[in-house]
Structure 1
Amino acid sequence: MLMTPGPTAVPEPVREAMSRELINPDVDPRFREIYDRLTDRLAAVYGVGPGVSAADGGRDVVVLGGEGILGLEAAVASLVEPGTEVLCLSNGLYGEGFADFVESYGGEATLVDAPRDEPLPLDALDEALAADDADFDLATMVHCETPTGTLNDVGTALDRLEAADGEILTVVDAVSSLGGVPVPTDRIDVCLGASQKCFSAPPGLATAAVSDRAWAAMEARDPHSLYANFLPFRDVSDGFPYTHLTTEVVALDAALDLWLDEGLDAVRERHEAAARRCRERGAELGLEPVPDPERSSPTVTAFEVPGRAPALQEALREEHDVLLATGLGEGADDILRVGHMGHSARVERVEETMDALAAVL
């Protein structure tokens, strides 16, 4: 049983959709119809349309052929050039990764960071914004830091950025929250998602909701990359910039069928219930999530198991056929992660998982 925080378990209707006859995305008009339907549905999930004006927070939604990390790099590649000043707000691995991308594209990254078990450093953000030499073009942050199961208060961070300088463009990694947790997309210039997390489709697609002013900035910068570039997807009426990942697009479309049939409120309530039960069972076993429960994401729980994570992961897989994830980076040996997101965000799957974990502890 797959209970990792992405890729998540893919339900049968999605697997069935993937087994249908292949559609050629370059010459068959049916593919464009599927893609257009998919972006309209994603706009509804993002909460930005279709039919929502730019003044009311409307965004264009695009889907690139590549795993979710492509979206993070493409956002930077599309908006950063040598000399671009970028404030990278971070309390984890992916927040720090934004700074690495910025520097690789010649930008000037200012990393405002906090330890992995602490909230976003909002006071330090205020100080950076108030500095005499502050002249930021762009700010990046992560909504759900998956390696620690932390759901960050991006709303307050956006408040601080808007109050300090309403011209700063914002990029938010919502890969592990979109579809399971409310995301303030209407306040974000580039909001990033992916197919393999809360939607329970296979890995292979990066999604983004892009504001008009972000498009304008991309056009002014004229990005040099074809693949790590949102601009070619702004208007695909004359075709896609490269052969799209047909099967993955069809799979995500089928996954959104299930998501929309269930309904926004029901999906979020299911994630909350699964997370709550996971942490209740963890507490009974003497385990606590890495951040305090109020800052833990409804999509993933990261338990502290100092030095034991790889051994517990192996025992769960070999003895109970349950696959969990360990931490990443410095938490690889000390954190065990339960992914209750997407199709896996069900109390019965959590109960089976925690029964297995109780047996191997």
Structure 2
Amino acid sequence: MNDETLVMTPGPTAIPVDVRNAMARSAMNPDVDPEFASYYETLLDKLARVYDTNDEMVILGGEGILGLEAAVTSLVASDEDVLCLGNGLYGDGFSDFVEMAGGNPVSHSIDYTDGFDADEIASLVEGNDFTAATMVHCETPTGLLNDFEEILTILRDAGILTVVDAVSSLGGTPVPVEHIDVCLGGSQKCFSSPPGLTTVSVSDSAWEKVENTEQDSFYTSLEPWHDPDFSFLPYTHLVSNLYALDASLDRILDEGLKSVFARHEETAQLCRKRGRELGLEPFPGTESLCSPTVTAFEIEGRAKEIQRRLHDSHDVLVATGLGEMADDILRIGHMGYNAQKSRVETTMDALESILD
């Protein structure tokens, strides 16, 4: 890849110049510099505004998967039952983290083209004693966006803690954080910042459960970030990555969340429209399930070839599917900095040339 390559992957995304420049700042020492605490608190405040929440914010030094594992490790005790909702690769994958934490995953897996039925979830809740429930807001591998509003209400009324992977939706589309106990984001998706940071909002109920759950990990635990007797940060933070995230959050807040969400929706509609004109259908099949941050087109058995030709002939980098669908899905990321009509038009023009 060269500097002229148009990176249209669903994370890591292309990074704007001002965000890259922010990383070049002289780095303060987060362990001893007295100014760092004030800087970090201001950064957390900006993050909370993007999350649109009053819950406590945490930034972990590690890629988004760290947040998924840390949330489960922190909340789940041995032999506790956890409801794992899955209609995609990452939703199904939560059960692995539950098992590693010693819990009992109760998987409710449905077809990867379907949304969840609230009545079915209510029936599951009535017949079981779940400590927590895990789910994914946007399944990046298939471009599917889940509507969890009603389901989150059902789980909350039953006293079940909720863990939501919103890594590829936060900052690109509304997320019902006010109904979520642990909401996970990642720097390299809609924030268009470099990979390396996990963002987390934690409710009071979730903190209470963390404090009452024996922790058998340090780095993959949320507990050290909430202990008033501990040092300000559990470990030396990734300062240059924090600078980049700060610049990314400024971009979002300066534009305004309402405008940012509208830009993502308009760009996504353009991408899907251009795809249908080429005879391609978004994977979920149902328009209401299509994410405004990533579109996955069905291209059976040709995705890797088309990905290579787009890169070699047009300097456009897109992604293919994952797992068993690696060669059957072509994914275009229109999230964060990439949610621009001009960038989507260039990508789809190149795709049209390849298909012709």
TM-score range, shorter chain: over 0.9
Question: How far does the alpha carbon of each residue in 1:166-198 deviate from its partner, in whole angstroms, 9 at most, with x for none?
Answer: x11111111110011111111110011111111
| AA in 1 matched with 2:273 | E
Letter in 1 for 2:169: S
CA contact (8 A) 1:148 1:301 kept: yes
| Match in the other structure for 2:74 | 78
CA distance in 2 between partners of 1:232 and 1:38 (Å): 19
Correspondent of 1:168 among 160, 164, 172? 160
Which of 306, 319, 329 does residue 323 from structure 2 map onto? 329
1:289 aligns with 2:285: no
Matching residue within 148, 165, 183 for 1:191: 183
Output the TM-score relative to the length of structure 1: 0.94
Residue pair 1:112, 1:124 contacting (<8 A) in 2 also: no
* Distance in 2 (alpha carbons) for counterparts of 1:95 and 1:81: 20
Residue in 1 aligned with 2:16? 11
Q: Structure 1 residue 259: deviation in Å?
A: 1.0
Provide the residue aligned with 1:59 in structure 2: 55
Identity across matched positions, percent: 57
Matches within 5 A, 1:1-361: 1-48=6-53, 58-131=54-127, 134-163=128-157, 165=158, 167-234=159-226, 238-291=231-284, 292-361=286-355
Could you give the per-residue CA deviations for residues 335-357 of structure 1, whole angstroms, max 9, x where no partner exists? 00000000000000000000011
8 Å CA contact 2:186, 2:197 repeated in 1: yes
- Distance in structure 2 (CA, Å) of the matches to 1:181 and 1:223: 33
Structure 2: segments with no counterpart, 5+ residues: 1-5
Residue 45 of structure 1 aligns to a residue in which SS? helix
2:3 is aligned to none
Q: Paired residues, what number?
A: 348
**Matches of 1:307 and 1:32 in 2, distance apart?**
52
Q: Which runs of 5+ in 1 are unaligned?
A: 49-57
Distance in 1 between residues matched to 2:262 and 2:236, nearest whole Å: 37
Q: Distance in 2 between matches of 1:297 and 1:76?
A: 25
Pairwise CA distance, 1:124: 3.3
Distance 1:238 1:225 in 2: 18
Instruction: Supply the AA of the counterpart residue of 1:61.
Output: M
Aligned residue type for 1:239: F
Mean CA deviation greater in 26-35 or 325-334: 26-35
Secondary structure of the equivalent of 1:179?
Answer: coil
Q: Tell me if the contact between 2:267 and 2:344 (Cα under 8 Å) persists in the aligned partners.
A: yes
- Asked if structure 2 preserves the Cα contact closer than 8 Å seen for 1:113 and 1:121, the reply is no
In structure 1, what residue type is equivalent to 2:88? Answer: G
Over the aligned positions, Cα root-mean-square deviation in angstroms equals: 1.2
Give the TM-score normalised by the residue count of structure 2. 0.95
On the 8 A contact 1:313/1:323 being kept in 2, the answer is: yes
